[in-house]
């Protein structure tokens, strides 16, 4: 009897081991996170209704008024909005408004990119009681020399689902000559458009 259970135990261990070996020999498979338990909503809370498509991403090559490439950005759908990871080089010391504009067209002087991305019909700015535009983003401060890398989140936006950036006329990322004051409609008094990149889906 003792031998039987010992042998049975050994067999189970062997079975478990070979199962583990089979599992480990498979290439890793990305499993998107499933719905997780959430706390009950507070009174007055409204849901952030973004439905990202896992792995959806887009890129933009940012060029100045002379057509010189001054930066890049990668935009990726997340469960909290679109994550914008980018860099700019050679703009010199300055502070610049940065927005997503409604049209994917960057012909200098970049008025072709249209107004700020604003599918909800709001006014401009984080500090505007009637804002913001979904395309509003925080300012970036560029160094006198070298590259500035930035990572920003666009809540309430997706690339191809709810409030999609990649709609029929696309969208562009636009850099301005001056700081955005986060409240003056329609563009934060951020001066002229100095660089622009069409957002292109992958």
What amino acid positions are annotated as catalytic residues? 99, 101, 116, 124, 133, 136, 176, 193
| The binder of Zn ion chosen from 63, 104, 136, 176 (CB under 5 A) | 136
* Minimum CB distance to Cu ion smaller for 174 or for 194: 174
* Minimum CB distance to Zn ion smaller for 60 or for 137: 137
176 near Zn ion (CB under 5 A): no
When CB distances are held under 5 to 8 angstroms depending on the partner's kind, the choice from Cu ion, Zn ion, none that residue 63 binds is none
When CB distances are held under 5 to 8 angstroms depending on the partner's kind, the choice from Cu ion, Zn ion, none that residue 174 binds is Cu ion
Q: What does residue 91 show for φ and ψ, rounded to 5 degrees? A: -85, -15
| The binder of Zn ion chosen from 63, 96, 101, 133 (CB under 5 A) | 133
Task: Report the site for Zn ion in 100-119 (rule: CB under 5 A).
Answer: 116
Question: How many Å apart are CA 88 and CA 173, to the nearest integer?
Answer: 12
- Report in angstroms how near the CB of residue 167 gets to Zn ion at its nearest: 17
Cis before 132 (ω within 30): yes
Question: How many Å apart are CA 92 and CA 83, to the nearest integer?
Answer: 25
* Minimum CB distance to Cu ion smaller for 63 or for 99: 99
Question: How many Å apart are CA 124 and CA 136, to the nearest integer?
Answer: 7
Strand partners, 75: 58, 84
96 near Zn ion (CB under 5 A): no
- Report in angstroms how near the CB of residue 197 gets to Zn ion at its nearest: 17
**What phi-psi label fits residue 23: left (phi over 0), alpha (psi between -120 and 50 degrees) or beta?**
alpha
Q: What does residue 182 show for φ and ψ, rounded to 5 degrees? A: 65, 10
The answer to whether residues 104 and 185 touch, using CB atoms and an 8 Å cutoff, is no
* Minimum CB distance to Zn ion smaller for 57 or for 119: 119
When CB distances are held under 5 to 8 angstroms depending on the partner's kind, the choice from Cu ion, Zn ion, none that residue 124 binds is Zn ion
Among 75, 101, 102, 69, CA closest to 193? 101
| The binder of Zn ion chosen from 124, 159, 197, 199 (CB under 5 A) | 124
User: What residues contact residue 57 under an 8 Å CB cut-off, 6+ apart?
Assistant: 74, 75, 76, 77, 159, 201, 202
- Binding residues for Zn ion, rule: CB under 5 A, are 116, 124, 133, 136
């Amino acid at each position: 009897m003792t031998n039987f259970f010992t042998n049975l135990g050994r067999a189970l261990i062997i079975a478990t081991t070979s199962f583990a070996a089979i599992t480990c020999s498979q290439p890793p498979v990305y499993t998107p996170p499933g719905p997780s338990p959430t706390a009950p909503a507070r009174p007055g809370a409204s849901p952030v209704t973004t439905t990202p498509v896992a792995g959806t991403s887009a890129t933009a090559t940012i060029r100045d008024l002379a057509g010189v490439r001054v930066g890049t950005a990668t935009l990726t759908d997340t469960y909290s909005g679109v994550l914008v990871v980018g860099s700019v080089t050679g703009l010199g010391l300055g502070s610049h408004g940065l927005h997503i504009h409604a049209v994917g067209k960057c012909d200098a002087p970049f008025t072709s990119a249209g107004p700020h991305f604003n599918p909800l019909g709001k006014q401009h700015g984080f500090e505007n009681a009637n804002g913001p535009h979904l395309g509003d983003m925080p300012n970036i401060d560029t160094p006198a020399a070298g590259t500035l890398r930035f990572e920003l989140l666009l809540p309430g936006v997706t690339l191809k689902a709810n409030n999609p950036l990649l709609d029929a006329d696309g969208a562009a990322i636009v850099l301005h000559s001056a700081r955005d004051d986060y409240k003056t409609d329609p563009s934060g008094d951020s001066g002229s458009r100095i660089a622009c990149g069409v957002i292109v889906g992958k």
